[in-house]
Amino acid sequence: MSSNSYFVIVGTRDNPLYEADLGQPPPQPQQARVADGGGKKDEHKHLNQFIVHAALDVVEDLMWGTSAMYLKVVDKFNEWYISAYVTASGAKLMLLHDAANTDGIRNFFQDTHELYIKALLNPFTEINSPITSAHFDTKVRALARKWL
């Protein structure tokens, strides 16, 4: 299934560690807007961040009510779904997507979680520091192609 999605890993201090636009960027709002410095893509990224950021509130509500890591779809925003996955350490994997694909997303989250753990195993990685590894990025995108 191909879809547009935005993936972000949020650290335990509520800071984004890794962000990726997976697939094609979501449709642009048709209303023309005054561009002030940032391009349209930037603005769209903002929107995604807005949605995911607000959904973190819901995740924090839900994460204590279940022992499962995968919280499924936690919130909807217009035609967008937000799926979340909370790791044992409290890092949150958030995916903004436009098509329901529970199992695919579960697999994607599980594999990304493993990748994240591998990244953390690096002795030079500090917890809650942004993940800048290109290798990590490539792998995540490959997983997205595989599962989403």
Partner 1 sequence: MHRGEMGDNKRVIITYSYGPDGEEGGVGNQFAEELESRLPLRNIAWHNPLGAIRGSTNSTARIIGTLDVELKRYSPEMFPRAMPGTLYHSPYFLHLYLVTTDDSEVYKATTRKQIQEWLNVVANKKNQEWLIVYLINPDSKGKSARFLGVGASSVFDKIKSDFSFKKERCIRMKLQNDAKDAEAWTDLTNHLKEGITSSLNQQILQYDEDTRRIDQQRLMPGWNYCQYFIMKEGLAYTFEFMNLLEEALLQYDELEASFFQTLAEQGAPWFAKFGGSEPDDDSASILDLQRKRYRDMIMQNTISIFDFRVYLFARQCQLLFRLGRPVAICQRAKMFINQFSRTIHENEASIWPFFRQAWMYSACIQVIGHCDELVAVSTQQQDFMAMYDGVKVDLLQCARFQLDNLGAACGVYPNMSNTINSSAIGPENNAQNGDVKESLAKITNIELRSSLQSSEAFDELYLRITSRAIRSCQGSNRPRTRRILSGDLANLHFARSRYAEAAAVWEPIVGQDEPWPFLDDLFAEKLAQCWKMLKDSDRYLKSCLHLVTCSTISAQDRVEYYVDELVSTSSQVAQVLEVSGVSILKLKTLRFINTIEDDGRCTVTLNVQNLVKEELNFDEVIAKVISTDGIEYACQAQSITLDPGTKDIQLSGQRLTISGTYVVDHVTCRIGKLRLVYHNLGSFHVTGGAVPFSISAGLPDQSLSRDSSSMLQVDIVTGSAALKQGTLALSAPTLSFPFLKSVLHRKSSMEDDASHIKECTIDTAENRIVLPSIDSLERLSFQIPFQDLAKGMESEHRVKFSLTYTTADGISHVWHESKTLNTSTALAISHVIVHNATSPVIRYTLTGKRPNPMRILGLNVSASGAVDPVPLSDVANTVLYYHQEMPVICYLRSKELADVKSTTSAETTTKVQLEISYQDLDAEITNFFLSSLEKLLAGTPMIQFSGFLIRYVCETLVPLVDVAQYALTDVANLPPFVTETVGHMLRSEQTETIAKIEEFLNLFHDRLKTSSGNDVRKSQKLRPRRISYQVESPVPKVLLAVEIRRIDAPDASGHLMIGQPLKCQLIVSPQRWDHDATDLPCFCEISADPESWVFSGKRKRKAILTGKEPAIFPFTIIPIRTGYTLMPSVVVDAAHAKVAIIYHTNSLGLTVRAPSFTTKTVSFAT
Task: Name the site residues for partner 1 (rule: CB under 8 A).
Answer: 11, 13-16, 26, 29-31, 33-34, 36-38, 43, 45-47, 49-51, 53-54, 56-58, 60-61, 75-76, 78-79
Identity of the residue, 46 or 135, whose beta carbon is nearer to partner 1 in the bound complex: 46
Identity of the residue, 59 or 148, whose beta carbon is nearer to partner 1 in the bound complex: 59
Residue 34 C-beta: closest distance to partner 1, Å: 7
* Amino acid of residue 50: F
Give the whole-angstrom CA distance, residue 82 versus residue 93.
10
Q: Give the CA distances from residue 74 to residues 17, 45, 53, 102, in Å, rounded to whole numbers and listed in that order.
A: 20, 20, 12, 12
Identity of the residue, 31 or 67, whose beta carbon is nearer to partner 1 in the bound complex: 31
Q: Give the CA distances from residue 37 to residues 34, 41, 43, 48, in Å, rounded to whole numbers and listed in that order.
A: 9, 11, 10, 19
